[in-house]
A = this chain, B = another copy of it.
């Protein structure tokens, strides 16, 4: 079911500082920041040859990464996103296998304009897994 690793997401308290560290210290290519108010984050993409790392900073009062940053004030690895060919088929197979889908179980349109779902980290050993249909 799992396809490519679409991205690894890292929550950070200060996107400008994190961008400077990835661009400067680590010598990576980092995109311009993109505010995604409907997702409660501002994001930059660190472009690697085979995948990307997304650096996320909270945006607005109800950011979905606010609680994570309260628990991890310096930041940390937040989730991993795998590509799937058919997100509804993947969801049905996962639910049948006993996994829990976050929210109401229906895909939402994610940061890349594609349907996404999140799986409960308790079902996958503490890792928040995002699935994105590509």
Contact = CB atoms under 8 A, between A and B. Distances in A.
Interface in A21-79: 21, 24-28, 46, 48-51, 53, 55, 72, 74-79
A113 interface: no
Task: Indicate the size class of the contact surface on chain A.
Answer: 35 or more
How many copies, total? 2
Interface of A: 1-5, 8, 10, 12-14, 17-18, 21, 24-28, 46, 48-51, 53, 55, 72, 74-80, 82, 93-94, 97-99, 121-127, 129
Nearest to A49: B4
B2 A5 contact: no
Contact of A2 (B3, B26, B94, B97): B26
